[in-house]
Each structure stands twice: as structure tokens, then as C-alpha cells.
Amino acid sequence: MKKGEREIRVLNIILAAVLLAILVSVLSWGVTSANDCLDCHSSSTSSTVADGTPIVYYTGSCAPTEYLAGGNFWWVAQWGGMLRAIMCSV
């Protein structure tokens, strides 16, 4: 086995171990679906944090005025709604 191939194999093993650790920790919290996360991480008020929990999904009707550096899933939901409307009208 060449030196570069061995390093890639080691990195793949490390990545697999990290992903397994994340999966185990999430399952230990009792999270079984996205709705379990959205219960705490969504809000209809335009705030980035509520009770110490980051809000990643704004559920209000207008665009959020505040959001975290990673964005907000409000935009994804709006795009999905527009896409469904376009697909249904065709």
C-alpha cells in the first residue's frame, strides 16, 4: 500500500468514528426525527436565541430580521413552497 493511500484510509476511519460518535450522542438524546429538534429550535418571533437555544427555523409569515451566521431554514421552507406551487401549476 502506498503512503498516500494509507493516509486516506486512516482519515476515512477517523471520519467514520466521528460520525458514529455524533450519531450515538444524538440518539442518546432521544431524537428520532427532525420534529424532535424543531420543537426547541423553531420560533415565530424573530430572535436568534430563545432560552439559550439557537433558533434555526423561523416560523413567522415574513422574512426573519435576525438570523444566525448559518442562516435560517425559513428560506428553505419558502423556496420549497414556491417550488410546490410551480410544480402544481404545470
Q: Which domain holds residue 55?
A: 34-90
73 and 60 in a common domain: yes
Strands (E), the chain: 42-43, 49-50, 53-54, 57-58
For residues 54 and 67, state if they share a domain: yes
Q: Name the residue with higher pLDDT: 17 or 24.
A: 17
Question: Both 23 and 38 in a single domain?
Answer: no
Q: What is the pLDDT of residues 36-62, one digit of tens each?
A: 777 888 888 877 888 888 888 888 877
- 26 and 40 in a single domain? The answer is no
Q: Are residues 60 and 86 in the same domain?
A: yes
Q: How far apart are CA 62 and CA 54, in angstroms?
A: 19
Q: Is residue 46 domain-shared with residue 79, that is, in the same domain?
A: yes
Quick one: 74 and 49 in the same domain?
Answer: yes
Other beta carbons less than 10 A from residue 17's beta carbon: 10
